Structure 1
Amino acid sequence: MKITVFGATGGIGGQVVRQALEAGHKVSAVVRASSSYDLVDPSLEVVRVAGLTDAGPLFDAVDGSDAVISGVGPRGRKDGPVASGSTRSILAAMSQAGVRRFVAVSAAPLGPVPPDESFLNRRVILPMINAFAADVYADLRVMEADILSSATDWTIVRPPKLTSKSLTGTYRTVIGGTVSRGYSISRADVAHLMLAAVGNPAMVNQPVGVAY
Structure 2
Amino acid sequence: MRLAIFGATGRTGRVVVERALRRGHQVTALSRDPAAIPPRDRLRVIPGDVRDLAPVARAIEDADAVVSTLGRRRRGPAICTEGTRTILSAMATGRPRRLLVLTNYGVAESRHRGLYVAASWLLERSVLRDKEHMEALIRPSATEWTLVRAPILTDGRRTGDYRTGTDLRLTFTSHVSRADIAEFMLSELEERAYLRQGVSITS
Describe the superposition over 1:71-124 as per-residue Cα deviations: whole angstroms up to 9, x where unpaired: 1111x211131111001101111223621000001001114368xxxxxx923x
Identity of counterpart residues, as a percentage? 33
Shift of 1:56: 2.2
Distance 1:105 1:178 in 2: 16
Residue type of the partner of 1:169?
G
Q: TM-score, normalised by structure 2?
A: 0.92
In 1, the alpha carbon distance for the partners of 2:74 and 2:142 equals 30
Q: Between Structure 1 and Structure 2, how many residues are aligned?
A: 201
1:24 maps to 24
Contact in 1 for aligned 2:151/2:170 (Cα 8 Å): no
Please tell me whether residue 166 in structure 1 is matched to residue 157 in structure 2.
yes
Contact 1:164–1:188 (Cα < 8 Å) also in 2: yes
Structure-2 change in CA distance of 1:97 and 1:39 (3 Å): farther
2:44: which partner in 1? 45
The aligned amino acid for 1:22 is: R
1:122 aligns with 2:122: no
Name the counterpart of 1:102.
Answer: 99
Letter in 2 for 1:88: R
Aligned equivalent of 1:88, options 82, 85, 88? 85
Q: Within 2, Cα distance between the matches of 1:204 and 1:19?
A: 21
**1:61 match:** 59
Partner of 1:13: 13
CA-based RMSD of the aligned residues comes to 1.8
Check 1:57–1:180 CA distance in 2 against 1; reply closer, same or farther (3 A cut): closer
Gaps of 5+ in 1: 115-120
Kindly provide the amino acid, as one letter, of the partner of residue 67 in structure 2. Answer: I
1:5–1:29 Cα contact (<8 Å) kept: yes
Which residue of structure 2 lines up, in the alignment, with residue 177 of structure 1? 167
Gaps in structure 2 of 5+ consecutive residues:
none
Cα 1:102–1:207 change in 2 (3 A) is same
After TM superposition, the score normalised by the length of structure 1 is 0.88
* Alpha carbons 2:30, 2:59 under 8 Å: kept: yes
Q: Distance in 2 between matches of 1:44 and 1:127?
A: 40
* 1:42–1:35 distance in 2 versus 1, CA, 3 Å: closer
In structure 2, how many angstroms separate the alpha carbons of the residues matched to 1:38 and 1:107? Answer: 25
Query: 2 CA distance for matches of 1:103 and 1:38?
Result: 21
